[in-house]
Amino acid sequence: MVYLSNYPEPSGIKTWAEEDRPREKLLLKGKHSLTESELIAILLRTGTRERTAVDVAMELMKNSGNDLNALSKLTVKDILALGINGIGETKAITIVAALELGRRRQTTEAREKDKISSSKDCYDVLQPLIADVKHEEFWILMLNRANKVIAVERMSEGGLTGTVADPRKIFNSAIKSDATSVILCHNHPSGNLTPSSTDIELTKKMKEAGKILEISVLDHLIIGENKYYSFADEGMM
């Protein structure tokens, strides 16, 4: 008869040298000393009987091309679909929530700039919010007289090829925020940033309406994953 007690126990993180365990390593050497897989392992907390949390995290990273940006785009459903032993719904939720906090931190840092002085400044604020969305959304950036961001708001969301932008709703939000100028923004999930005739017509309409209300429409950005199109930069404002 074979007794299970005769089999060696799987080698877990607790058998590692203290300075190599993710939690202890963070305390001893600081957060910057950890690899992406080790940081994810801390979120996972545990692995499986056969594998450590670091092993599970490494498989997750491998399935994402070892690219945190690619990992950050995954939904809970996407992560579960990878079929990684050791990651259930609760752990997938934890990972998605942690990556979303990182994305929001990036947005907050961009908004804390002294003022918006270029289309790139606008892009830095809006890109984390809109670039990875798989359907079209329309947002506005609202500024005060010093060109500082006072509010960012999503106006509408639609399908893969379009969304509706209501000028009345847009300017109503600007007035409520006491904005003196706005910057329009929407994404093109297709990756093609060329403005459509509808985009051009809407921009003209918004600019004319802004003149009447004394709320300047400074720019209209079309955002892709890692690039953007600026109406102002292209002389179309």
Choosing from 58, 73, 107, the residue where a domain stops is 107
Containing H/E element for 43? Answer: helix 36-44
Q: Does residue 183 fall inside a structural domain?
A: yes
Residue 119 token pair: 């289309």
Mean pLDDT, rounded, for 1-5:
38
Q: Distance (Å, rounded) from C-alpha 221 to C-alpha 120?
A: 10
Within this chain, do residues 156 and 204 fall inside the same structural domain, yes or no?
yes
pLDDT tens string 114-127:
589 999 999 988 88
pLDDT band at 89 (very low <50, low <70, confident <90, very high): very high
pLDDT tens figures, 164-210: 788 999 999 999 999 999 999 999 888 889 999 999 999 999 999 99
Query: Does the structure show a pLDDT above 60 at 10?
Result: no
Same domain, 137 and 203: yes
25 or 73: which carries more pLDDT confidence? 25
Residue 12: what pLDDT? 59
Percent of the chain, pLDDT > 70? 86
Q: Give me the pLDDT at residue 1, please.
A: 37
What are the helix and strand counts (H, E) for the chain?
Answer: 9, 5
Burial 93-112 (b: 16+ CB within 10 A, else e): ebbbeebeeebeeebeebbe
User: Residues of the chain with pLDDT > 90: what percent?
Assistant: 59
91 lies in the same domain as 125: no
Residue 53 lies in a domain: yes
Among the listed ranges 34-38, 125-129, 177-181, 227-231, which one has the minimum average pLDDT value? 125-129
One domain for residues 23 and 56: yes
Spell 52-77 as b/e; 16+ CB within 10 A means b: bbbbbbbbbbebbeeeeeebbbbebe
Would you say residue 222 has pLDDT above 50?
Answer: yes
C-alpha–C-alpha distance, residues 193 and 196, integer Å? 9
Query: Is residue 96 located within the same domain as residue 120?
Result: no
Q: Which of 45, 77, 107 is the last residue of a domain?
A: 107
Among 45, 79, 107, the domain-final residue is 107
Pair 209, 121 in one domain: yes
pLDDT at position 90 over 70: yes
> Do residues 51 and 127 share a domain?
no
81 & 159 share domain: no
SS3 214: coil
How distant, in Å, are the alpha carbons of 121, 137, 143 from that of 184?
13, 11, 11
pLDDT digits (tens, 9 = 90+) for 210-221: 999 999 999 999
Task: Tell me if 2 is assigned to some domain.
Answer: no
85 occurs within a structural domain: yes
Residues 63 and 140 in one domain: no
Render pLDDT for 43-59 as a digit per residue (tens, 0 to 9).
Answer: 999 999 889 999 999 99
Res 15: pLDDT: 58
Residue at 235 is within a domain: no
Binned at pLDDT 50, 70 and 90, residue 93 comes out as very high
Does 162 fall in a domain?
yes
Both 119 and 190 in one domain: the answer is yes
Q: Count other C-beta atoms under 10 Å from residue 173's C-beta.
A: 16
Specify the pLDDT at position 4. Answer: 40
Whether residues 151 and 125 share a domain: the answer is: yes
In a domain, 181, yes or no: yes
Residues 38 and 61 in one domain: yes
User: Which residue range is the domain that position 36 belongs to?
Assistant: 9-107
Domain total for the chain? 2
